[in-house]
Amino acid sequence: MKLQRILKALVVTALILPFVRPLLAFPQQEPAFPGVPTKVVVSVEPRHGKEVPTVRAEDVVVSQGKQHDKVLAWQPVETPEIGVQLFIFIDDSLSATEIGTKLNDIRDFINAQPANVLIGIGYMRNGTAVIAQNPTNDHAQAAKALRLTFGDGGSSPSPYFALQDLLKRWRQTNSAREVIMVTDGIDRFWDGFGLDDPYLNSVIDEAQRGGVVVNALYARGGGHFGHSPFRINWGQSYLSELADATGGEAYYLGNDTPPSFRPYFKDLTERMSHQFLLTLEAQPGKKSGFERIKLSTEVPNVELVTQRQVYVPTGS
């Protein structure tokens, strides 16, 4: 009887095994089509506390819809092989009095960066990017390019026009690229309300297409909009949306310019020291366009922060 039960069990196992194997293998299936190598900057952040755990390439899971994209490379940005190009981009319509007291904060941040962080200086004026200094590892030279803002509120109809101009003129390299905007974020050109600002959406697309991380430091603007709580709140919301969509951070303290930028620069410096350039194999859709991605890891107490979506061309 015992032998019969064993034989029956073997027969049942043989019958169901062909159906079980495909189910077990399904989650590990490779994508049906070759992917497109795509680069994004990733910030490794602790969920709790200040200690940042170590994350290796094999710890990173990239989800695109229901499938997992292959991780091709995971490289620290603050290395000679990669490096960072960082633009400090200041709204020229901001009050010279308020920004003037923060110039030393900005200079100290510039001079504290390692040599593989190239610093550029630009100003937002009349919807365009006025470049005072192209990205350079001569940090003293970059610091000298800082100046007082003009402080004429009407000179910057939309900071998002100027940012888009900067991104379009910024030559893409193998380095990570980031921006620190100093602005009130108010779009004086758009007469609508809500987060569906077409100029904001357009510059988010441009930044995501180029893999550029945009960070923002809020500073109070001039003119009527500069003391309108309604407009100020929308400006801060736009900056938060821009930073969140591109994997950056937005900083503000109430409705006024913070007394010092130093705490924010300290946080940005810490973030950059735990950033990686991730090369993933993104899967194209039926036509060229943006594809949502999500990063995860089983490493405890870790959050992987990056842009929400990547641009994937077809036929590559």
pLDDT mean over 72-83: 96
Q: Residue 125 has what DSSP assignment?
A: E
* Nearest residue to 125 via CA among 86, 166, 87: 166
pLDDT mean over 62-82: 96
pLDDT mean over 127-155: 92
Spatial distance between the Cα atoms of 254 and 233, rounded to a whole number of angstroms: 9
State the CATH class of domain 84-272: alpha beta
User: How do residues 215-225 score in pLDDT, each as one tens digit?
Assistant: 999 998 876 66
pLDDT mean over 251-262: 94
Residue 19 above 50 pLDDT? no
Q: Residue 191 has what DSSP assignment?
A: -
Task: Using alpha carbons only, give the angle 55, 58, 60 rounded to the nearest 5 degrees.
Answer: 60
Q: Are 293 and 64 in contact (CB under 8 A)?
A: yes
Confidence of residue 31 (pLDDT cuts 50, 70, 90): low
At residue 33, the pLDDT reads 62
Residue 125 above 50 pLDDT? yes
Residue 28 above 90 pLDDT? no
CATH topology of domain 11-78+274-312: Immunoglobulin-like (2.60.40)
Spatial distance between the Cα atoms of 313 and 35, rounded to a whole number of angstroms: 10
CB atoms near residue 41 (< 10 Å): 25
At residue 191, the pLDDT reads 72
Which residues make up the CATH 3.40.50.410 domain(s) of the chain? 84-272
Q: Are 52 and 290 in contact (CB under 8 A)?
A: no
Residue with tokens 């130093």: 262
Residue 236 above 90 pLDDT? yes
CB atoms near residue 88 (< 10 Å): 25
Q: 269-282 burial, b if ≥16 CB within 10 A, otherwise e?
A: eebbebbbbbbbbb
Which residues make up the CATH 2.60.40 domain(s) of the chain? 11-78+274-312
Q: Indicate left, alpha or beta for 82 from its phi (over 0: left) and psi (-120 to 50: alpha).
A: alpha
| pTM beyond cutoff 0.75 | yes
Residue 181 above 80 pLDDT? yes
pLDDT mean over 69-91: 97
Residue 227 above 70 pLDDT? no
At residue 7, the pLDDT reads 43
Beta bridge partners of 39: 279
Query: Which tokens go with 109?
Result: 């941040």
At residue 196, the pLDDT reads 85
